[in-house]
Amino acid sequence: DPIYVITPTYRRPEQLPELTRMAQTLLLVRAAHWLVIEDAKEPSKQIAQLLERSGLRFEHLTAAMPEQYKKKRGAKPKGVAQRNRALQWLRANATAGVFYFADDDNTYDVAIFDEVRITDGWEAVREAVLWRVERRSSVSVQIRSTKRVSMFPVGLCTKFGLSTPVVSSAGAFVGFYDGWIGGRKFPVDMAGFAVSVKFLHMRPKATMPYAPGFEEDGFLRSLAPFEPKEIELKADNCTKVMVWHTQTKANAPSPPLDMAKYNQTNLAVLKT
């Protein structure tokens, strides 16, 4: 069954490198089906080309952030329109499998999707290099096997270092660890959970709210009835970090750059 990887994305100088990196990660994932949803009115040609060239199974969709939020100062509900567009696509087109909200700038270890198979000598070497040997024991405990909602740690590049369910040594869920709990029922990162398509079909009203900081919590609450104690714990009982919430530092010149000009400049450099 497919793993639907839902990636909102918007136009900026880092966009193509981010999506290139992500595409190459997803090429290592069996039956990955990439839903790329642009925050734009029209799909861009560059992204269409990138997707075509990747060889991945994909859908290229668009959903612009509503004007009222775009104009707002301060925190914006980033990626919400796009993720809801993807949920709409899944409801219309998917029957089985698992979906995962994977922002374009994070860092994903392919081991979060499922076990790595050792088929020959080269693979064995590669696996040793990547410290995957111990992960062989985690066959079918990764997100591909999600029955309803699974969760796992997300590495943060902050003082808190981590956002994760807390699991007792006996393997039971006991709570959440996050730098900011904020009164949330599910204080988790967007990259820290996966949901089965069948469960989505059982929750026709599930949706992500336009609530900065509360997108994850709002979406997970909208899956009610569903309680934290029902969470399926992945990544070896939440003992391993296999995804990091990273950000690419923009290297753009100021004042704010004009994308059309930026692309032209790059082309001009290539031509000389």
Q: Which residues are catalytic?
A: 216
Which of 18, 38, 105, 178 touches Mn ion by CB under 5 A? 105
Q: Is the separation of the CB atoms in 80 and 215 below 8 Å?
A: yes
DSSP result, 49-95: HHHHHH--EEEEEE-PPPHHHHH-SS---TTHHHHHHHHHHHHHH--
* Structure tokens belonging to residue 248: 């690419």
φ/ψ of residue 166, rounded to 5: -100, 130
According to the binding rule CB under 6 A, does residue 188 interact with ligand UGA?
Answer: no
- By CB under 6 A, the residues from 122 to 181 that bind ligand UGA are none
- By CB under 5 A, the residues from 217 to 246 that bind Mn ion are none
Interface segment toward ligand UGA; rule CB under 6 A; list 101-109, 179-187, 222-230, 231-239: 101-109
Q: Is the separation of the CB atoms in 46 and 262 below 8 Å?
A: no
Q: Is the separation of the CB atoms in 189 and 200 below 8 Å?
A: no
Exposed, middle or buried, 21 (CB in 10 Å: 0-12/13-18/19+)? middle
In whole angstroms, give the CA distance from residue 54 to residue 122.
Answer: 24
Which of 99, 105, 141, 153 touches ligand UGA by CB under 6 A? 105
According to the binding rule CB under 6 A, does residue 262 interact with ligand UGA?
Answer: no
According to the binding rule CB under 6 A, does residue 65 interact with ligand UGA?
Answer: yes
Q: Is 178 annotated as a binding residue?
A: no
In whole angstroms, give the CA distance from residue 159 to residue 156.
Answer: 8
Q: Is the separation of the CB atoms in 164 and 176 below 8 Å?
A: yes
CB of 156 to ligand UGA, least distance (A): 10
CB of 36 to ligand UGA, least distance (A): 10
Nearer to ligand UGA, 149 or 190 (CB): 190
According to the binding rule CB under 6 A, does residue 79 interact with ligand UGA?
Answer: yes
According to the binding rule CB under 6 A, does residue 77 interact with ligand UGA?
Answer: yes
Q: Is the separation of the CB atoms in 34 and 56 below 8 Å?
A: yes
* 82 binds, options Mn ion, ligand UGA, none, Cβ within 5 to 8 A by partner type: ligand UGA
Which of 39, 109, 115, 232 touches ligand UGA by CB under 6 A? 39
Nearer to ligand UGA, 14 or 127 (CB): 14
Which residue ranges are tagged as binding site? Answer: 105
Question: Where do contacts with ligand UGA occur on this chain (CB under 6 A)?
Answer: 7-10, 39, 65, 77-79, 82, 103-105, 189-190, 212-213, 215, 247
